[in-house]
Amino acid sequence: MRLGLIHTSATLVDVFAKLCAEHLPGIDTFNIVDDSLIKNTVAAGRLTPQTARRVAGHVGSAEAAGADHILVTCSSIGAAVEAAEPLTGVPVTRVDRPMADRAVALGRRIGVLATLSTTLEPTADLVRRRAAAAGKEIELTARVCEGAFEALMSGDAATHDARVAQALSELGGDVDVVVLAQASMARVAGTVSAAAPILASPPLAMEHLAGELLGERTRR
């Protein structure tokens, strides 16, 4: 079994390598990294058709490289991931889908926190659609943590973490569960004492893939 991971930031390669080692023992992995995908999305203020086509191209390349399953670790390009799924001969997982399902199961008042506006709406939309699919009515509160993403990209991780932690503490008192819209925010989840559970996409995606890939390997 082979898992292909597609990233829009090189900082996530090590994050997911550790999670794969923990949750997917014996599963071969490889990475495709293209940070222009997120840079172009941020610059345009939205996911453009051109970027969406390039995402589909990377998904196709991962399949051609021998992936039995593909994980795309960026939430901002989630719509392109969903569009690429029916064009691909192997399963494709959007990193935040298992997290959205868990949030819907945990509470009615769901908070979504992002450091990029281009990620906030795709994640909020995903949570709403997963709630509708589950037949559950929710109340969604979406907020952007201003300046945190820029701090992280400039190498100031401490400022990023402090701003995200503060936003989490504030939002946690108003909702039943908080969803972190970006995988890059997961580093802060375990450092904050909030009134509501805080969900990060990387570990939940890995738990989901463990069930899929390890179960498939057993069946083989």
DSSP notation for 51-96: HHHHHHHHHHHHHHTT-SEEEE--STTHHHHHHHGGG-SS-EEETT
Residue that has been written with the tokens 């795309």 in this structure: 72
Cα–Cα distance list, 215 to 5, 8, 90, 209 (Å)? 19, 28, 15, 9
- Whole-angstrom CA distances from 133 to 86, 106, 110, 129 are 19, 15, 16, 6
Amino acid 88: pLDDT: 94
Any idea which residue has 């390890």 for tokens? 214
Is pTM beyond 0.85? Reply is yes
Report the candidate in 31, 86, 34 with the shortest Cα–Cα distance to residue 55.
34
pLDDT, residue 191, reads: 80
- At residue 144's C-alpha, the angle toward residues 196 and 146, to 5°, is 120
Task: Kindly give the confidence (pLDDT) of every residue in the chain, 220 residues in length, as a single tens digit, with 9 standing for 90 and above.
Answer: 899 999 998 888 999 999 999 999 989 999 999 999 999 998 999 999 999 999 999 999 999 999 999 999 998 899 999 999 999 999 999 999 999 999 999 999 999 999 888 888 889 999 999 999 999 999 999 999 888 888 888 888 899 989 998 888 888 888 999 999 888 888 887 787 777 888 988 999 999 999 888 765 555 5
Please tell me the predicted confidence (pLDDT) of residue 217.
55
The pLDDT of residue 92: 96
What count of residues does the chain have? 220
Residue 216 confidence (pLDDT) = 59
